[in-house]
């Protein structure tokens, strides 16, 4: 009888693979919520005591994004656990070592790592500067963990040669993290899966396809929950099933385990340290742009900042942002000419403080007392809750959960025409907060962990 491969879902892109008494894990997130406001969907809780007792033979991390590499989750693991991380930035490895891990290695594309019966090979993702995929071989079986990535044609050809594939863990949710920044200007998502997904799955021809790498929503009150996630489990199963009639689509919720062998896939005892909470057979519901509430209404959802925290935000808007603006470059031609930018920061009562800036084409900026100080028409607007701006400055919060609202206004005809070719992520606040920073979320975590 052949040895089966046990595959268990942790959460999002997290998995445990077990074979012949050896257990390895991928993208280990043991938090709910994670990344500050990503709430497990379906809901679960984690038994941290049991997690601390786990002894993984290795942990593999596909990339540095905080929903895949969290120091607070890694902090639960034994410090002798070998960590294999795909990341081109040395700072991340330094932070993990400061946490106390003694066996930390940088993964190289196409260079196999052997752990007991497992051979794990990092494969190139479309954005090789950011993330990777994993090919996992054990017990004569071949599994592809696509994680979050998109696959380019060169890598797809290589993966086709590496087949046949017993299982593919496919990132099934496209997510509209850019569109929700400017909902009044975004178009609804297409009513079908991306064409390249179906084409690539047909090339791979796996026996089993797992809809992977999502399993979260934002806060229960968030309008993102109806606008951010356009693909349902039902839709994925139907479309993939029609395109690959010989494949089986298998949903693995957190804690769920299966035994895979050359002939079958069957249920296995679940992970004891991932505890389902409430209904698990839940699905996403997409409602286009879902009538987004005002930034003032969203800001009222957050606790008030303390006086020092509020001062930090106001000082940044008055001075720090201006200093930063000249240090970052825009990739959009929209800001090659002078523009008047209005930044609106909303406190916990929904009251806004407006800042106006004259952005010069050469990358310089100056503050205006109000919009009337400039002869130029208003050329860009940004609105944000003060609590979220503080979180970005001091807690490493990422753009996905900022509830930033960009260009939710009607401009003059010339500006509207120019905006057609502008990139929303060239927003001046986005550029100043995120364009030249790395690992801010993990750095904030490390400060908290080391201060205990």
What residues does 257 pair with on adjacent strands?
8, 268
**Which fold is adopted by the domain 5-276?**
Metallo-beta-lactamase; Chain A (3.60.15)
- How far apart are the C-alpha atoms of 365 and 354, rounded to whole Å? 16
DSSP H/E element including 321? helix 321-325
Asked if 427 and 404 touch (Cβ cutoff 8 Å), the reply is yes
Place of tokens 């909470």: 277
What are the C-alpha distances in Å from 203 to residues 168, 173, 199, 444? Answer: 12, 20, 6, 42
In this structure, what is the dihedral angle of CA atoms 438, 442, 448, 449, given to the nearest 10 degrees?
Answer: -140
Handedness of CA 150, 281, 141, 236 (dihedral sign): negative
Residue ranges of domains in the chain: 5-276, 295-450
Element of type H or E holding 45: strand 44-46
CB atoms within 10 A of CB 7: 27
The tokens describing 141, both together, are 């079986």
| Global pTM value | 0.95
Tokens of 176: 């509209």
Rounded Cα–Cα distance for residues 82 and 101 (Å): 8
Q: What is the DSSP string of 158-227?
A: HHHHT---SEEEEE-----TTGGGSTTTPPPPPSS--HHHHHHHHHH--SEEEEES--EE--TT-THHHH
DSSP 8-state class, residue 422 = -
Whether residue 403 is preceded by a cis peptide bond, meaning omega within 30 degrees of 0, is no
pLDDT under 70 in the chain at which residues? 1, 330-331, 370-375
Contact 444, 396 (CB under 8 A): yes
Helix orientation angle between 233-243 and 195-204, rounded to the nearest 10 degrees = 50
pLDDT at 364: 82
Question: What is the rounded CA–CA span in Å between residue 70 and residue 182?
Answer: 29
If you classify domain 295-450 with CATH, what class do you get? Answer: alpha beta
Closest CA to 213 of 256, 253, 171: 171
């Amino acid at each position: 009888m052949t040895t089966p491969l046990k595959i268990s879902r942790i959460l999002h892109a997290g998995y445990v693979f077990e074979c012949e008494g050896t257990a390895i894990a991928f993208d280990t997130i043991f938090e709910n919520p994670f990344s500050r406001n990503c709430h497990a969907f379906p809901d679960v809780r984690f038994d941290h005591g049991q997690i601390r007792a786990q002894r993984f033979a290795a942990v593999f991390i596909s990339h540095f994004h905080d929903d895949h590499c969290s120091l607070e989750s890694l902090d639960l693991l034994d410090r002798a656990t070998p960590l294999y991380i795909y990341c081109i930035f040395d700072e991340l490895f330094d932070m993990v070592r400061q946490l106390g891990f003694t066996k930390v290695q940088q993964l190289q594309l196409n260079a196999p790592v052997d752990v007991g019966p497992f051979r794990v090979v990092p494969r190139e993702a479309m954005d090789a500067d950011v993330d990777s995929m994993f090919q996992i071989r054990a017990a004569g079986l071949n599994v592809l963990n696509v994680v979050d990535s998109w696959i380019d044609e060169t890598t797809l050809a290589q993966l086709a040669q590496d087949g046949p594939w017993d299982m593919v863990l496919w990132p099934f949710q496209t997510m509209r993290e850019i569109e929700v920044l400017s909902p009044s200007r975004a178009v609804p998502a297409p009513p079908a899966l991306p064409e390249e997904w179906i084409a690539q799955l047909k090339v791979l021809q796996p026996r089993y396809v797992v809809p992977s790498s999502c399993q979260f929503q934002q806060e229960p009150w968030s309008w993102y929950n109806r606008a951010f996630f356009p693909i349902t489990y039902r839709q994925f199963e139907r479309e993939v099933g029609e395109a690959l009639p010989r494949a089986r689509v298998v949903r693995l919720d957190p804690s769920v385990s299966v035994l895979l062998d050359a002939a079958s896939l069957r249920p296995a005892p679940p992970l004891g340290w991932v505890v389902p909470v409430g209904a698990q057979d839940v699905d996403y519901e997409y409602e286009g742009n879902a009538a987004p509430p005002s930034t003032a209404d969203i800001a009222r959802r957050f606790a008030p900042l303390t006086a020092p925290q509020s001062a930090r935000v106001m000082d940044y808007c008055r001075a720090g942002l201006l200093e930063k603006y000249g240090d970052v470059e825009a990739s959009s031609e929209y800001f090659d000419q002078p523009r008047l930018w209005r930044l609106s920061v909303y406190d916990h009562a929904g009251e806004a403080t407006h800042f106006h800036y004259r952005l010069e084409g050469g990358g310089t900026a100056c503050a205006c007392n109000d919009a009337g100080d400039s002869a130029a028409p208003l050329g860009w607007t940004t609105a944000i809750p003060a609590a979220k701006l503080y979180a970005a400055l001091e807690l490493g919060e990422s753009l996905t959960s900022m509830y930033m609202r960009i260009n939710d206004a009607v401009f003059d005809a010339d500006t509207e025409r120019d905006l057609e070719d502008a990139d929303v992520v060239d927003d001046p606040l986005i550029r100043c907060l995120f364009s030249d920073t790395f690992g801010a979320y993990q750095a904030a975590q490390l400060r908290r962990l080391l201060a205990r």
